[in-house]
Amino acid sequence: METLNLNPFKDYKLEAPQKKEKEVNPVRELVVFYYETTGHSKEPKTFYRGRYGWGKLAKEAKTLLEHCGGKLEDAMWCIDQMKYRAEKGRFDWSIITCLKHELK
């Protein structure tokens, strides 16, 4: 007796799925860059509340990005320039301070 080969998937070839390249979220990148620039990237969890809270800094980063025309490199330059000015003048700063000093 002969068996019939009724496998419907006999000629089906499975292709490896293509990995999608993750899009860069510029607001996230700015907040992470701010944390790294100010030296707060490795603080305990309780540190990231209030003044250094993610929500507050994300809102400030979004405002800075809009002010810079959506260019991430320009916004990062503003943060780096603000760090230099703050160290030179010995004052405390945040992302929104870049707008108050009219860095462009």
Binning pLDDT at 50, 70 and 90, where does residue 1 land?
Answer: low
CB neighbour list of residue 98: distance below 8 Å, 6 or more residues apart = 64, 78, 79, 81, 82
Inform me whether the pLDDT recorded for 86 exceeds 80: yes
Inform me whether the pLDDT recorded for 44 exceeds 70: yes
Could you give the CA distance from residue 82 to residue 16 in angstroms, rounded to a whole number?
Answer: 47
Higher pLDDT, 72 or 23: 72
Tell me the residue type at 90.
R
Could you give the CA distance from residue 55 to residue 102 in angstroms, rounded to a whole number?
Answer: 23
Calculate what percentage of the chain has a pLDDT beyond 90.
52
Could you give the CA distance from residue 73 to residue 64 in angstroms, rounded to a whole number?
Answer: 12
Inform me whether the pLDDT recorded for 12 exceeds 60: yes
Higher pLDDT, 24 or 32: 32
